[in-house]
Structure 1
Amino acid sequence: MPKAPTIRSLAEKLKLSVATVSEALRDSPRVSPETRERVQRAAKKSGYVHNPLLGAALSAVRRARHQNYRGTLALVDTAEQGKAELMLFHREIVAGAQERAKELGFTTELFWVGDGPQAVPIGRLSSMLFARGIHGVILLPFNQAQDFSAFDFDRFAAVQMDHCLIKPRLHTVLPDHYVSMMHALERLTGLGYERIGLCMERRKDVRLLNKWSAGFMSFWRSYSQNAGIEPLIVPELTRDVFVEWFRAHSPDLVMAHRQSTVDWMRSIGVRVPEDCGYFILNHTERTGPCAGLDLQPQRMGAAAVESVVGMMLRYERGVPQYPQTITLEASWVEGPTLRTG
């Protein structure tokens, strides 16, 4: 039986050093593109198979010599209207990613795509990251879905958060909006609320493949004879639109992303929580004390890091043939906007 090819046998065949072959197989920018392609083509032809366990063991030895540093992971966000500024929810994701990356021997660096002095075009970003030796990429949950076709994913292990890409389709880490909505409604109806209304801007639902509204409507079809209140899902949620909907349907609890709806209710004489309760769908974005769902942004960041690092150790690069999704159920947060007893 012929011996399985090794890095050393590949190096001898190609008349290259073992170090060069090893770097080429890891897509290192320290090796010229021509040599990388030549080595990888020869490895594929000979049936060479990378052993991730051996690679991890050798990496552990190298880390012991270099203060546990294993590499840098890129966190990518969009600069909207030229502003390179993290939203509050994104700041929590980044905090969780940074902490978990540090535990695994990595650092993180934030990059921006779009317009503005701190941002770069999507196509240029992939070349920039590769030149800096960055092989792991985490796409934050963009406010608007983006087309990343110009990004060369073949060089990277990458995941997206939420369904933030129009294309391509990547492995995804996101809250389980559907199940979280169903469980929240089970608990709210258990507290005695019967006319629960959902209101939000359409983009927030569409970006999540309509999982908020799907969970809301499925609950009333499956768990109650009450058909519930028709959700208010509009391009722009304004006070006038909300007040008209509220007066037409008289909900006893409002679920929303914007806590300004509480001010709108109070402006027409509605007492919260005595007359109508309020439940925020993303507790991180609250502007005052309230009950709601904690979507676990720091856990999301940590899970994304774990996913990308695992892919890097397995030498998995590019757009996956079968994208997988990691979902995290939100947790319930008590607050003064729900009645007690």
Structure 2
Amino acid sequence: MPSAPRPTLRDVARAAGVSHITVSRVVRGSPQVAEATAARVRRVIRRMGYRPDPVLSALAAYRMARGEGDSANTTASPAATAGDAEAKPARRRSAQTRSRGSVLAFLDCDLHRNSRQFNRDTLQGIRREAALLGYGVESFRMEPDEAIQKRLGRMLFHRGVRGLLFSPTDVLWTFTGWDWAEFAPVSLGALDHEPAMHSVAMDYFQGAAQGFDKLARMGCRRIGLVVDSRLEARTGHRWLGGFLAQGGARSRYYGEGGLHAPALFLAWAAREKLDGVLTIDPVMAKLLPGMPLVYLNNLGAPEGFLRPVLNPETVGAEGVRLLHNMLLRHELGIPAERRRIELQGRWTTAERIVAAR
């Protein structure tokens, strides 16, 4: 027996008594539709089991990027006029915003500017994935001050921005002053900020555990973890956790890195009788010539050494996909049950891969 045909956007529009343009705006989370109309359309979407066609979404994004989106002159069907009469007047927005449909906010939380290149690459991935889904992206600098955060939240709300992407950072944040019921937030990075939200990050724990195992397979028995403590903390101590879980000794964790005081580091390495090292420090190859080394990330790892490769753009793109699904389902607010997506890199000794520009 043939299955029932998949409901289309126009099917939803007929059932809800609005135009297909209105349904498209509701699906994208556009602020141009009155909340009562949007709620009615979402009820019909849930009842009919409608899901956007990814191919059509990509085509719509392409047309919007060329200035052919729903802000262009379009004639709605007479049957939908009553429903469309409830639409709010369009807010004044930039040409980019009008051509893209909805806008996502990238909130740069890198207070100490320690993650500039990583965040630039992450933002690049966000912009590319967002364009495929029909979103524009605007970047804003975050500040710890509650009053400043509150003003930013109000400004984003009144501009119709509902999707928030908080950047990777090595600082734990407490986000205050936000009316969370109006936003869908996603954190990019391993740190557990307050309030806890859905997040996307590299799987640092498994990376350290797998790196330890690779050194053990090389015959190493006294393996050290040499990572600057500030950068290790950025993983939510998952590098240290993966190292210890595989049998590493707490005394064989060196948190100063090799660059700060090489003589002190070498004296420590001799005392611990290391025969293998997990690290992210490119100087290790010079300080410990001939010793087996495994790098925990791709940034600065010398050619010829094992490392897991995960382009930061991948983290940004995955964050957009997660946020897009939340907006489609109108999942606003802080989740009762938090989801974390952890991405594993591909182990390689090949030449360092640089994020595409």
TM-score, normalised with respect to structure 2: 0.68
62 and 218 in structure 1: CA distance in 2 versus 1, 3 angstrom threshold: closer
Q: Distance in 2 between matches of 1:22 and 1:296?
A: 32
1:210-256 CA distances to partner (integer Å, 9 max, x unpaired)?
Answer: 211111111127xxxxx696212369983154233222113222222
Work out whether 1:113 is the aligned partner of 2:142.
yes
Q: Which residue of 2 aligns with 1:316?
A: 331
Q: Which residue of 2 aligns with 1:326?
A: 341
Work out whether 1:51 is the aligned partner of 2:54.
no
SS at match of 1:146: coil
**Conserved in 2, the CA contact under 8 Å of 1:196 and 1:229?**
no
Q: Distance in 1 between matches of 2:350 and 2:23?
A: 59
Q: 1:158 aligns with which of 185, 201, 214?
A: 185
Q: Which residue of 1 aligns with 2:84?
A: none
Q: Distance in 2 between matches of 1:154 and 1:299?
A: 28
Work out whether 1:174 is the aligned partner of 2:201.
yes
1:174-204 CA distances to partner (integer Å, 9 max, x unpaired)?
Answer: 1111112222222222223332210223333
**Conserved in 2, the CA contact under 8 Å of 1:148 and 1:165?**
no
Q: Distance in 1 between matches of 2:209 and 2:137?
A: 35
Q: Distance in 2 between matches of 1:252 and 1:258?
A: 17
1:113-158 CA distances to partner (integer Å, 9 max, x unpaired)?
Answer: 1289xxx932222122222222211111112111112222221222
Q: 1:299 aligns with which of 308, 311, 314?
A: 314
Q: 2:239 aligns with which of 201, 212, 218?
A: 212
295 and 196 in structure 1: CA distance in 2 versus 1, 3 angstrom threshold: farther
What's the % identity of the aligned pairs? 24
Within a 5 Å distance, the mapping from 1:74-113 to structure 2 comes to 74-78=105-109, 80=111, 87-113=116-142
Q: CA RMSD in A?
A: 4.1
Task: Give 1:249's aligned amino acid.
Answer: E
SS at match of 1:220: coil
CA shift, 1:105, in A, is 1.8
Q: Distance in 2 between matches of 1:206 and 1:228?
A: 15
**Conserved in 2, the CA contact under 8 Å of 1:157 and 1:312?**
yes
CA shift, 1:315, in A, is 0.9
Work out whether 1:233 is the aligned partner of 2:255.
yes
Q: Distance in 2 between matches of 1:25 and 1:303?
A: 19
160 and 115 in structure 1: CA distance in 2 versus 1, 3 angstrom threshold: closer
Q: Distance in 2 between matches of 1:56 and 1:25?
A: 8
Work out whether 1:252 is the aligned partner of 2:283.
no
Q: Specify every segment of 5 or more residues in structure 1 that has no aligned partner in the other structure, as ranges.
A: 1-5, 12-18, 222-226, 266-270, 337-341
51 and 94 in structure 1: CA distance in 2 versus 1, 3 angstrom threshold: same
92 and 231 in structure 1: CA distance in 2 versus 1, 3 angstrom threshold: same
**Conserved in 1, the CA contact under 8 Å of 2:181 and 2:333?**
yes
Q: Which residue of 2 aligns with 1:277?
A: 292
TM-score, normalised with respect to structure 1: 0.71
28 and 331 in structure 1: CA distance in 2 versus 1, 3 angstrom threshold: closer
Number of corresponding residues: 298
SS at match of 1:183: helix
Q: Distance in 1 between matches of 2:301 and 2:243?
A: 24
141 and 50 in structure 1: CA distance in 2 versus 1, 3 angstrom threshold: farther
Work out whether 1:127 is the aligned partner of 2:154.
yes
SS at match of 2:106: strand
Going by fraction, where is strand more abundant, 1 or 2?
1
Q: Distance in 2 between matches of 1:212 and 1:113?
A: 27
Q: Specify every segment of 5 or more residues in structure 2 that has no aligned partner in the other structure, as ranges.
A: 1-11, 71-98, 352-357
1:72-108 CA distances to partner (integer Å, 9 max, x unpaired)?
Answer: 2111112536x6x962222221222222112222222
Work out whether 1:243 is the aligned partner of 2:266.
yes
1:255-302 CA distances to partner (integer Å, 9 max, x unpaired)?
Answer: 223324445x2xxxxx52x2x233332212x17546222243221111
189 and 105 in structure 1: CA distance in 2 versus 1, 3 angstrom threshold: same
Between 1:200-209 and 1:250-259, the stretch displaced more is 200-209
